[in-house]
């Protein structure tokens, strides 16, 4: 049991089915690791160990009675942006430091119905605003590969927990790269589905037209297991779209069964020069180029495509996302729930001090940016113009996909940077330069590990697909991982036994 956390989700499922270990033993193993090592990482905000142990015991009893649900008894954890009934749900903010949700997010209920066991709620940038997980009210998260470096954000707690071997799988959310960038920094695979594929009901909103839940794991197959119960139309979410319900794991198995010596024969991978310009670290580019060469070796064809200049995309995103955040976060006013200042003089003082004291600097900054963009004098000049450019970004992706099946790029321009670097906000925003276009266009995208820098830090490759083509992305990454071992590398903390 000492290295059971090195097993893939597929191996954990097989172990439970073959009675090599019980769900209770599995859950106890992960809890023991969290208790012993998370003080170094700070990946969890809330632990639900006692509930998890009871659920694990119940899962073992159900399996003994013939319950054959694939994920029954498999541990996982949720990013603290998803409402969880009876459990503290903070969104990494002082504003919600005392909010115990009275209901479940749809994906939380779906995952529970699949038989999975939640070990707790994971740390995150406050209200999902950040790229390094340093804006959380509950403290900075460290990267399990190098404790002096950031894990990425805003799903840094989710990525760090998986990379440290605290859970095999974790939910996450992605507004501008918040699944894919942490996946890249922590040597994981992470998928952001098509907008509308996964219900947003019960996911605390940052930017409603951009937010989408997804999954993090070591491999594409891991991500497929967790994504499967998350998808589906939800009548409680007006942005949830009715569409086909693929079986992601079966699609992977079928792809492997049909793969020959050239598994990517016929696959056209689009590469845009705009993704390889100034600001891209040379070691990151080297690993990404090597991965593309491997795809070619396995039968893929590399074609040149053109996409919107990432700097224009970045500016568009940081106009629209704060505007939506300004609207969404207006509900946190100290009146109905969450943080309330002490002894307010009047209603204006209640609003002002509750929000000033409850929100951190980065959240306040984005609210101010968004409010300015939405104000009467600047709405047309900024917000309306950004929406028009968003339409151009979508069209550019549509045009690019006429000549390719998937688009490849670096996930992030650098590997994980040091916590001590203390980047200013504008520099931090540049960390999302390759990922945000996907959210503006509502496309699915996956990040997969493709190498290590000279300092031993992970590098990620991003694959972007057409709407509703998560299976293609998962299959492409999975077949690549059958011929490489980047996803099998373990972080410093994951190598530690307890």
Cβ pair 305, 403 in contact under 8 A: yes
Q: What is the dihedral of CA 491, 55, 93, 437, to 10 degrees?
A: 60
Q: Which of 22, 23, 43, 79 is catalytic?
A: 79
Residue 274 phi, psi (nearest 5): -65, -25
> What strands lie across the sheet with 458-464, from one edge to the other?
44-47, 117-122, 75-79, 170-174, 212-217, 189-192, 445-452, 458-464, 406-410, 268-272, 301-305
Instruction: Label residue 313 left, alpha or beta by phi (over 0 means left) and psi (-120 to 50 means alpha).
Output: alpha
Whether the CA torsion 454, 455, 461, 462 is positive or negative: it is: negative
Q: What are the beta bridge partners of residue 122?
A: 44, 79
Cβ pair 288, 252 in contact under 8 A: no
Cβ pair 334, 340 in contact under 8 A: yes
Short-list 74, 65, 76, CA closest to 25: 74
Here the tokens at position 110 are: 């779906």
Cβ pair 423, 463 in contact under 8 A: no
Helix (H, G, I), strand (E, B) or coil at 407: strand
Q: Which of 109, 155, 178, 409 is catalytic?
A: 178
Beta strands 75-79; 117-122: pairing state: parallel
Cβ pair 160, 181 in contact under 8 A: no
Q: Which of 154, 184, 199, 447 is catalytic?
A: 154
Whether the CA torsion 475, 480, 481, 487 is positive or negative: it is: negative
Q: Indicate if 79 belongs to the active site.
A: yes
> Which residues are known catalytic residues?
79, 154, 178
């Amino acid at each position: 049991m000492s290295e059971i956390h090195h097993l893939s989700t597929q191996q954990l499922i097989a172990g439970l089915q073959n009675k090599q270990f019980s769900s209770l033993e599995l859950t106890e193993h992960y809890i023991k690791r969290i208790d012993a090592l998370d003080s170094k990482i700070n990946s969890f905000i809330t632990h639900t160990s006692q509930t998890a142990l009871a659920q694990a015991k119940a899962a073992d009893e159900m399996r003994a009675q013939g319950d054959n649900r694939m994920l029954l008894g498999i541990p996982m954890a949720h990013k603290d942006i998803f409402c969880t009934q009876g459990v503290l749900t903070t969104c990494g903010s002082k504003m919600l430091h005392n909010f115990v949700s009275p209901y479940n997010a749809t994906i939380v209920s779906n995952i529970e119905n699949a038989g999975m066991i939640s070990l707790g709620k994971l740390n995150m940038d406050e209200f999902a605003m950040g790229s390094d997980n340093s804006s959380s009210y509950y403290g900075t998260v460290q990267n399990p590969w190098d404790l002096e470096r950031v894990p990425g954000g805003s799903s840094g707690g989710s990525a760090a927990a998986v990379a440290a071997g605290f859970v095999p799988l974790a939910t996450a959310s992605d507004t501008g790269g918040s699944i894919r960038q942490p996946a890249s920094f922590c040597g994981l695979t992470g998928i952001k589905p098509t907008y509308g594929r996964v219900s947003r009901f019960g996911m605390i909103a940052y930017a409603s037209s951009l937010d989408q839940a997804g999954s993090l794991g070591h491999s594409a197959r891991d991500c497929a297991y967790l994504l499967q119960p998350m998808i589906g139309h939800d009548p409680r979410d007006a942005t949830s779209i009715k569409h086909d319900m693929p079986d992601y794991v079966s699609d992977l198995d079928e792809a492997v069964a049909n793969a020959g010596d050239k598994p990517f024969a016929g696959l056209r991978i689009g590469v845009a020069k705009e993704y390889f310009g100034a600001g891209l670290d040379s070691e990151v580019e080297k690993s990404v180029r090597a991965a593309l060469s491997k795809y070619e070796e396995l039968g893929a064809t590399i074609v040149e495509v053109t996409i919107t200049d990432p700097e224009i995309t970045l500016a568009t995103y940081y106009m629209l996302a704060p505007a939506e955040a300004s609207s969404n976060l207006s509900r946190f006013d100290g009146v109905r729930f969450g943080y309330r200042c002490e002894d307010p003089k009047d209603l204006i003082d209640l609003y002002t001090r509750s929000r000033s004291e409850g929100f951190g600097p980065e959240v306040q900054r984005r609210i101010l940016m968004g409010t300015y963009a939405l104000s009467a004098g600047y709405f047309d000049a900024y917000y309306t113009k950004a929406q028009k450019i968003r339409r151009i970004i979508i069209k550019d992706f549509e045009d690019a996909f006429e000549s390719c099946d998937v688009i490849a790029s670096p996930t992030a321009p650098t590997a994980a940077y040091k916590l001590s670097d203390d980047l200013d906000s504008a520099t931090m925003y540049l960390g999302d330069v390759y990922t945000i276009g996907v959210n503006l266009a509502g496309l699915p995208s996956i990040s997969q590990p493709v190498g290590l820098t000279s300092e031993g830090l992970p590098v990620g490759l991003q694959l972007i697909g057409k709407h509703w083509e998560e299976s293609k992305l998962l299959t492409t990454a999975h077949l690549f991982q059958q011929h490489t071992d980047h996803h099998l590398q373990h972080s410093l903390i994951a190598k530690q036994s307890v």
